Homo-oligomer: A and B are copies of this chain.
């Protein structure tokens, strides 16, 4: 009995994840406003009534996609990073896990519930928007604290921490716009190169050499 319930739960959550991914892809391609619930239902392969079993409205769906994207970011990037005491190791883990999350979770066109978080906040209610912004702030704070710790350890170059934090963020978020999993760069290469460029930009050469 318990097993059956588990199977049902898992299949429901898998179906939900599938709806989010499909809807995120269509929102990215057509734009949120131009997408109808029928478009999404058709792409998922269920009836329009079927989709209302999972979500109340298109706006509710957008908020759920963003919340799902944030949960994935928290599970794959933020929580593992918070478990790492050494700031340099933590920064490397954040860059690697974020780049992996964007590239591996994405469709061939590069769409992914995580990427929509930054592009369609205008479609949310003010209360929903605040919730998403607050969750994003946790991530920005983690990056900023990590850079502050590196500064205190004498490992950071003489760079402004706000500019460095957002530059890292921009580099990482932009990956979803250009990286294609069927292109010539593997995910491992991408992670290694982005790490090299980002760490080279903000850490003192000495600090990095001493780690090798």
Contact = CB atoms under 8 A, between A and B. Distances in A.
Given A171-B170, A175-B170, A205-B205, A193 B29 contact: no
A200 interface: yes
A196 B167 CA distance: 11
A202 interface: yes
Contacts of A32: 31, 33
Interface hub of A30, A157, A174, A177 (most chain B Cβ within 10 A): A174
Interface residues of A, number: 45
A193 B123 contact: no
A34 B163 CA distance: 32
Q: Is the interface of A mostly helix, strand, loop or mixed?
A: helix
A189 interface: yes
A31 B30 CA distance: 12
A122 B29 contact: yes
A43 interface: no
B159 A185 contact: no
A169 interface: yes
Nearest to A99: B163
B33 A163 contact: no
B194 A163 contact: yes
B174 A160 contact: no
